[in-house]
Structure 1
């Protein structure tokens, strides 16, 4: 029974790490932003370009 518990805890820890990496990837790529946030960023870039 202990082996099963330890394995489950290891699997949970692994899933937590994978989830952290996944969330960081989403943030890095910019997929965590709303359409409105993206629109404002584009407008700001256009203003700076002018």
Structure 2
């Protein structure tokens, strides 16, 4: 049978391994998602520019 100290330590150890979220984490995730959206939009614009240049070169 485990001692009270061991039971307390084991319970604390399990709880320490569970990641917690805070407002800072959410803010960073939101910033990263916005940056990804910006990069995807820029990628699309650049792709369209390439298509336009190809069409102009063919004419």
Q: TM-score band, normalised by the shorter chain? A: 0.5 to 0.7
- Number of residue pairs the alignment of both structures matches: 34
TM-score normalised to structure 2 length = 0.51
* 2:42 corresponds to: 18
Cα-Cα RMSD = 2.3
Question: Which ranges of 4 or more aligned residues in structure 1 deviate by more than 2 Å?
Answer: none
* Higher Rg: 2
Unmatched tracts of structure 1, length 5 or more: 32-37, 46-50
Structure 2: runs of 5+ lacking an equivalent: 1-24
TM-score normalised to structure 1 length: 0.60
1: CA distance, partners of 2:52 / 2:42: 15
